[in-house]
Amino acid sequence: MQLINSKEDFTAVTHSSQLTVAVFKADWCGDCRYIDPFMPEVESQYADRLTLVEVDVEATGDVSQEQNILGIPSFVAYANGKELVRFVNKARKSREEIEQFLDRAVAVYQTLTTSTVE
């Protein structure tokens, strides 16, 4: 996962026309470290449909506050600078829950891109 360390980098990746899912994390977060072992495989599994980026909540200034991130890790899908769908709560997230969210993000993105093409 590409690591996002600045507000400028965050803006650049979320304004892509491609589906980008930002994973808001911090080094000190135990629940964030819990997902680390399986996230490379999940990223590989979805590589043809979306881009996953890791947003360091400590390094990106007010981005987390501006995005209304209340707990980490949190997952937010973006395309063309707009939020499409989010998976944000204070609970630990399982691989299955993350994959279900990514499937939903892909479905929403496909619905939006299909409706704009027609």
Between CA 111 and CA 104, with CA 25 as vertex, the angle to 5 degrees is 20
Cβ atoms 86, 24 nearer than 8 A: no
Q: Is the dihedral of CA 32, 81, 16, 83 positive or negative?
A: positive
Query: What H or E segment, with its residue span, contains residue 103?
Result: helix 95-117
Write out the catalytic residue numbers: 29, 32
